[in-house]
Amino acid sequence: MISIRTATMLILLLRGLISVAHPPQQSPQEASLHQRITRLPALQRLPWIDLYYRLLNEQSRFKEARSQLEAGLKTAQQARLISWEAFFNRRLGHLAETEGNHPEAIYYYLKALNRYQAIHLYDQQQILCGRISEVYAAQENEPGNRHFVHLFTQLHQHNNLFSTRVASLRNELTKWQREDQLDSLLGNYQKLLTVLQINREWDNYYSVLDGFGTLLSAAGRYQEAEQTLRKSLAFGLQLGDRRRELYAYLHLPIPLLHLKRINEAERYARQALNRIAGDPERKDEHLTEAYHVLTQIAEAKGDYAQALAYERLRSQASTRMLSAEKSRQVAEIETRYQTTQKQARINALDEDNRRQLTQISWQAGGLLALLALLGLTQWQYQVIRRVNGQLMDTNQTVSQNNKLISEQADRLAMLMRELHHRVKNNLAIVSSLLRMQSKRLADPLAVQAVQDGQRRVEAISLIHQQIYQTENLMDVPIKSYIEDLTQGLLTGYGFNPKTFDYWIDVADIQLDVETAVPLGLILNEVLTNAFKYAYTHVAHPFLQVRLQPDPNQPADLLLLEVQDNGPGLGWIDQTGTGPGEQGPSSHRSSGAEITPSFGQRLIRELTGQLGGQMSFHNQAGTCFRLLIPHSIKPVRTLS
């Protein structure tokens, strides 16, 4: 055992000498931080400079750390960002104290204290007074130590009284919020703002002011809400607090939208998107809120296609947020499992070390009598039994944790299926409401528009139904979806499937939701157009729907063809960008203009979204062709 330990120490010593001779290369984390700081504008670098400084400080690379802090301080001074000036001065003081340079540490600490006094941040002043008194004590400077201890005590007493009052008011806020008493909630907010203003706690004051502005919007007091949120935004811009700016940009569009200042609301919403791009923390949560506001703005402007696009982005961000939360829960479970395993290994190693030390002690005692040897053997036997028992307990714990992880994974899959099932059910409710509404309308055009909207909702609902019936909860089995959609429209328009000649040739593949939804809506529009107008004077209706990889194109392109045997379109859009909804009188004379219908605009928008190319041809009826790029995935059915 002694020789093994000696060899281990020699190996560690050799490694230390090698590390001194050859400094470690830049880590991936350091390279990533350095690259990010280089790419960002000056003001956006400040929080990342602090992260880079901490990484360098942990590696005792003080010279490089100082250089980063001085660069950040210079940027904050040029932009007159007082809170950041104080922050970097405080960091420089801590670095000097770490290096043992006490005069320089006091110099930077005093500069930071001065800046915090300028913006009345009492808690930060209290912390700095404590640090300065400790540095003076290390220098054996008793007058300086006593002075800053006195300041620390005064600030501590002030903060305790103030904190008690603020805590009481915050408890009242929680109570009224739980009881949904809006008037009482607004009154307590005003009391809390008054206390913060009297005590000049401006940082907390403007944080509470943002929440008060949001509450005023909820109460319908939009003029006051706008003025309140603008005050919070001005304070954030003054301090360079990008998080405070982000919240103001997210909340300001709501009162502006209700005040009919739509363009101004949209400008702030887009500024919020720009802030979110540079702030990865809670990114999907903020994107969900921003796209929800932009959806309302687009609807107010009457741009429903843009509103639909924003709503899809909001839905994607919300889905990512839910997925991230589930992943975090799984990671926590895995961490607890790994911690249990490591603890079990540590316990086993500790027990093994104790056993080895006991054996060494017995051997060093010299020769023992036969009775002593028999007793030692018996003792070792008991130790082995105990270790085996511990190993059996550890194995049982590992098996239970594996079972728990498997159950959690199954539960997550079940929740995803339940989510798609509920979305499908909600869309079915919307479809039923549209059907009921259409029965109450007298205008035939209005009835037709509502029924068309109903069928579009049913087309999207069918996609979610297909998803939760497969093992892969992110992709759609397109073959069964197109078969169900075609048969549903055929029956819905009163045709008999036994007498109607239709042929469906669809590859047995899966498409992701981003491709399946627009493709399903395009197919719904084309089939609806055919069932409504193509077979009015046709004795033997025929329909062909085909979706296959195009043999004349690269492997990642799909070709959708829909062919009927009707009279054909009265006109063909020669640009290849999309058709109109043909009707009984869809002909036009030379020079006449036809206003694109909603269905035509929808097909064009969705084709552009897919990055595809489309065309209409008259050949023994109407032939619609759509070529879209997409990678092909084989179908996996749910067992």
What angle, rounded to 10 degrees, do the helices at 202-218 and 182-198 form? Answer: 160
Q: What is the pLDDT of residue 504?
A: 93
Domain-embedded: residue 10: no
Degrees, nearest 5: CA angle 206-210-214: 160
| Lowest-pLDDT range of 72-76, 286-290, 334-338 | 334-338
Of 360, 376, 405, at which residue does a domain stop? Answer: 360
Q: What is the pLDDT of residue 7?
A: 54
Domain-embedded: residue 39: no
Indicate the pairing of strand 501-506 with strand 557-564: unpaired
- At 520-544, the pLDDT tens digits run 999 999 999 888 888 888 888 999 9
Domain-embedded: residue 102: no
Q: What is the pLDDT of residue 578?
A: 39
Task: Please give the residue that has the higher pLDDT: either 472 or 84.
Answer: 84
Give yes or no for a contact between 276 and 286, defined as CB atoms under 8 angstroms apart: yes
Give yes or no for a contact between 68 and 53, defined as CB atoms under 8 angstroms apart: yes
**DSSP-assigned letter for residue 562:** E
DSSP bridge partners of 625: 561, 615
Phi then psi dihedrals of residue 586, to 5 deg: -90, 10
Degrees, nearest 5: CA angle 350-356-361: 125
CATH number at residue 630: 3.30.565.10
**DSSP-assigned letter for residue 637:** B
Of 341, 360, 379, at which residue does a domain stop? Answer: 360
Degrees, nearest 5: CA angle 399-402-408: 140
User: What is the Cα 266 distance to its own chain's centre?
Assistant: 22
- At 129-176, the pLDDT tens digits run 988 988 898 888 888 888 988 888 887 776 655 556 666 666 666 666
Give residue 348's domain range: 225-360
Q: Give which of 461, 468, 465 is closest to 435, Cα–Cα.
A: 461
Of 325, 360, 395, at which residue does a domain stop? Answer: 360
Domain-embedded: residue 154: no
Radius of gyration of the chain (CA): 36
CATH number at residue 244: 1.25.40
User: What's the average model confidence in pLDDT over 188-201?
Assistant: 73
Domain-embedded: residue 483: no
- At 418-455, the pLDDT tens digits run 666 666 677 778 877 777 777 778 788 787 778 778 77
Q: What percentage of the chain exceeds 70 in pLDDT?
A: 78
User: What's the average model confidence in pLDDT over 366-387?
Assistant: 86
The span from the CA of 541 to the CA of 523, in Å, is: 18
Q: What is the pLDDT of residue 169?
A: 66
Domain-embedded: residue 544: yes
Q: What is the pLDDT of residue 524?
A: 92
Domain-embedded: residue 57: no
Instruction: Show the 3-state SS of 137-199.
Output: HHCCCHHHHHHHHHHHHHHHHHHHHHHHHHHHHHHHHHHHHHCCCHHHHHHHHHHHHHHHHHC
- Residue 513: strand, helix, or coil: helix
Task: Please give the residue that has the higher pLDDT: either 294 or 635.
Answer: 294
- Residue 95: Cβ within 10 Å count: 20
Q: What is the pLDDT of residue 278?
A: 64
| Lowest-pLDDT range of 205-209, 273-277, 359-363 | 205-209
Q: What is the pLDDT of residue 555?
A: 63
Q: What mean pLDDT value characterizes the chain?
A: 78
Q: What is the pLDDT of residue 638?
A: 43
The span from the CA of 282 to the CA of 320, in Å, is: 11
User: What's the average model confidence in pLDDT over 371-384?
Assistant: 88
Task: Please give the residue that has the higher pLDDT: either 514 or 432.
Answer: 514
Reply yes or no on whether the pLDDT at 109 is more than 90: yes
Q: What is the pLDDT of residue 542?
A: 92
- Residue 489: strand, helix, or coil: helix
User: What's the average model confidence in pLDDT over 4-19?
Assistant: 52
The span from the CA of 78 to the CA of 254, in Å, is: 34
Which band of pLDDT confidence, cut at 50, 70 and 90, is reported for residue 110? very high
- The number of folded domains in the chain is 2
Give yes or no for a contact between 445 and 463, defined as CB atoms under 8 angstroms apart: no
Q: What percentage of the chain exceeds 90 in pLDDT?
A: 10
Reply yes or no on whether the pLDDT at 474 is more than 50: yes
Reply yes or no on whether the pLDDT at 14 is more than 80: no
Domain-embedded: residue 556: yes
Give yes or no for a contact between 501 and 513, defined as CB atoms under 8 angstroms apart: no
pTM of the model: 0.37
